[in-house]
Amino acid sequence: MIEDNTIVIAEEQTLVREGLCALLSADGRYRVIGEAEDGLQAVRCVNQLKPDLVLMNLSMTKMSGISAIREIKRHLPKIKIIVLTLHTTDEHILGAFNAGADGYCLKNDTQVELLTAIRCVLEGKKYLSPEISGKILDGYLERRSNRSNLSLGNLTLREIEVLKLVAEGHTSPQIGSFLNISPKTVDKHRANIMKKLDLHTAAALTAYAINKGLAAPLS
């Protein structure tokens, strides 16, 4: 069992810091040895006290949380850092992990989730808030779905390229020039596409391509 791991809390709001201190002290496995109310103070506090783990808010004055994470990891790479924030954008999440964060929690997570994050990170694992994990999974599944949609009709890669160029308004000679094939070959691909998709006009092909995200609507 993990015992007496030392923690520094970097958080602007006094009430939040006090609440975190109370939670960690009540748990019995962790000891808060320092507090910081801005990013610059956080870096100085961590460099002096060298805790096992830092809880870091991203919205900090004097130095942002991401900059503070990067600075801490540059000098003390073995110290674990968990972000504790309200931010859920990709920019903040990727920025934090690129700077060296080991975990990412949200302030609306439960106390149990935060304690789980601390345990996991101290054991050498990465941790993501369930809400963030769900967001990332949804994005992955959406991208998978989009890629799957592009293959409807069993089109080959070359046929998809031709369809895209047709939808963009290019003629067969132009498409042939782009793809380094003859206009007759382009027309053959177009005929195969129409047959596979059961579409019979250039307008129908264009509408299909726009619907599948292959081309933007013509202005």
Residue 2 is predicted with a pLDDT of 43
How much is the average pLDDT of 115-127? 89
- Buried residues in 39-48 as b, exposed as e (16+ CB within 10 A): bbbbbebbee
CA angle at 112 for the pair 109 and 113, rounded to the nearest 5° = 45
CATH superfamily for domain 5-129: Response regulator (3.40.50.2300)
Arithmetic mean of pLDDT over the chain? 84
Cβ-in-10-Å burial (0-12, 13-18, 19+) of 165 comes to buried
> Confidence band (pLDDT; 50, 70, 90) for 84?
very high
**125-134, 172-181, 201-210 — most confident range:** 172-181
Confidence band (pLDDT; 50, 70, 90) for 1? very low
The domain segmentation of the chain, as residue ranges, is 5-129, 150-211
Classified as helix, coil or strand, 185 is: helix
- Percent pLDDT > 90 in the chain is 34
Mean pLDDT across 78-89? 90
Averaging pLDDT over each range in 17-21, 162-166, 195-199, which range is the top one?
17-21
- pLDDT-based confidence at 3, cuts 50/70/90? low
Number of neighbours of residue 17 by Cβ within 10 angstroms: 19
Provide DSSP, 98-137: HHT-SEEEETTS-HHHHHHHHHHHHTT--EE-HHHHHHHH
Per-residue pLDDT of 129-162, as tens digits, reads 877 776 665 555 555 555 545 455 678 878 888 8
Q: Is pLDDT of 55 > 90?
A: yes
Question: What CATH class is the domain 150-211?
Answer: mainly alpha
Give dist(CA 206, CA 120) in Å, integer.
Answer: 51
| pLDDT, mean of residues 165-172 | 87
Collapse the DSSP code of 89 into the 3-class scheme (helix H, G, I; strand E, B; otherwise coil) and give the result.
coil
Give the phi and the psi of residue 53 in degrees, each rounded to 5.
-150, 150
